[in-house]
Amino acid sequence: MPQLLTVRVERPDGRPIRVWVPVLPVVLVLSPVVVLAVLAAAVACLVYRLSVVRALGTGWRIVCALPGTRFDVQYSRTAVLVAIR
């Protein structure tokens, strides 16, 4: 499971903004929303006749594969780098 989300924004004036977001406290605070999202996903699986266990297992594998992911977005002279550790 990802532990840390690092966001760096390079502004046009050259000064970067860095933000470190620990994932576990954010998930704990948002846990009621996460539970509702899992229930909604389970209902959607039942509506579309998919295996609930298989779908939730696949979602968990995707979340576990996120550490090491980096992506950059650049627009004009502003750049955003997001790294998941």
- pLDDT tens by residue, 12-56: 888 899 999 999 999 999 999 999 999 999 999 999 999 999 999
Cα–Cα distance for residue pair 9/40, rounded to 1 Å: 34
Instruction: Tell me how crowded residue 52 is: count the other CB atoms within 10 A of its CB.
Output: 14
- Residue located via tokens 């948002």: 30
Average pLDDT, integer, range 47-72? 94
Q: What is the pTM of this model?
A: 0.73
Tokens of 47: 């509506």
Residue 6: predicted pLDDT:
94
Residue 13: predicted pLDDT:
87
Residue 57 pLDDT > 90, yes or no? yes
